[in-house]
Structure 1
Amino acid sequence: MVHASTITVTMKRSFDVSADRVFDAWLNPEMMRKWLFTMESTNKVAKNEPHVGGTWEIVDHRGGKDYRAIGEYIEIDPPNRLVFTFKMPQFSDTEDRITVECKPLEKGCEMTFTQVIVVPHEEGWTEKDIEQALREYHDSTEQGWNFMFLGVKQLVETGKINYPSP
């Protein structure tokens, strides 16, 4: 049995478009390939079966390597709530759970994103080691989603993403 802890990352973002448009960005493969764990120029695969029990897959090619993200849909209630699993098999057997909730505002919508991250413990870790790992997972996850959420905001509001220069 692998020992592990969990940490939760919760983020809110406002969009100047309807909840339907934001929700679609999470499920439409043509939109997913532009922002979800990938960029249009580096995306090799964007597959999606958007129904409960259906799966999704993104393969991004960077630095000569393929990075594969996969998951399964647990709940789909357009445009209000989406719950799915997230896993990157080349790095770990752990599986995170992501919940996306969209609520309409007077102008646009607000998205609340929550990821429950499973952090496996290495042999011999102390409580201090575990706390440090949890902090690092939280901060790096939040940083990655911040970047992706900038892209999806541009995509749903303008129809394109202005990627930063490498």
Structure 2
Amino acid sequence: MNETTQARASHRFRASAGRGFDAWIDPNLIGRWLFVTSPAGLAQVHVDARENGQYILVDRRDGKDVIHCGAYLVIERPRRLVLTVFVPEHSRFTVRVEVTITPAEDGCVVDLVSEVGNDQLELRDQLAEGWRDMLAHLDTVIPAAAVQGDPQ
């Protein structure tokens, strides 16, 4: 049996759960925060936001294209997403990511779990740090919402 360990990240947003969820499926929002290292955003964004739909995101780093790709396995708006992430430039492993979005009185909380093998502890720690940084950046991208009356 292949044992796994989890990289975890969590962030509280002032935006509604609906807006927090849409940041994972809306190409315009994704291109401004997910795997972005350039102030200009991603060089390419292709998103088929449906269960079993694929995505390809291209970040230009130091003149070189870095591809992030995967598939949406579960889409349960506005509470839960499960997707895969594969970055051939940096790893030979596909990572399963589960995103849970919980409405809160003043916004929402996004909890993220990435599963990796127990033999990939360094990758686990890098993933956790990377997800925390990306979620903090997302907080500057999605606008705060008056939670009452905002689509959940």
Q: TM-score, normalised by structure 1?
A: 0.78
| Aligned partner letter, 1:110 | V
Residue correspondences, number: 143
1:145 and 2:145 are equivalent in the alignment = no
Task: From the superposition, tell whether residues 68 and 5 of structure 1 become closer, same or farther in structure 2 (CA, over 3 Å).
Answer: farther
Which residue matches 1:64? 63
> Conserved in 1, the CA contact under 8 Å of 2:11 and 2:132?
no
Give the Cα–Cα distance (whole angstroms) in 2 for the partners of residues 98 and 118 of structure 1: 13
In the alignment, which residue of structure 1 is the partner of 2:104? 105
Give the partner amino acid of 1:24: D
Counterpart-to-counterpart distance in 2, 1:138 and 1:95: 13
Q: Tell me the CA shift for residue 7 of structure 1.
A: 2.5
Q: Mind listing any 5+ residue stretches in structure 1 that lack a counterpart?
A: 120-129, 159-166
CA contact (8 A) 1:94 1:118 kept: no
Moved more, 32-41 or 81-90: 32-41
* Structure having the higher Rg: 1
- Which has more helix, going by share of residues? 1
CA distance in 1, matches of 2:63, 2:4: 31
Return the alpha-carbon distance in structure 2 between the equivalents of residues 87 and 103 of structure 1. Answer: 26
Q: Output the amino acid matched with 2:27.
A: P
Name the counterpart of 1:31.
29
Alignment match, 2:4: 6
CA distance in structure 1 between the aligned counterparts of 2:128 and 2:40, rounded to whole angstroms: 23
State the shift of 1:76 in Å. Answer: 0.2
SS for the counterpart of 1:31 is helix
Identity %: 30
The structure-2 alpha-carbon separation of the partners of 1:93 and 1:32, relative to structure 1 and needing over 3 Å to count, comes to same
Q: Where does structure 2 lack aligned partners over 5 or more consecutive residues?
A: 145-152
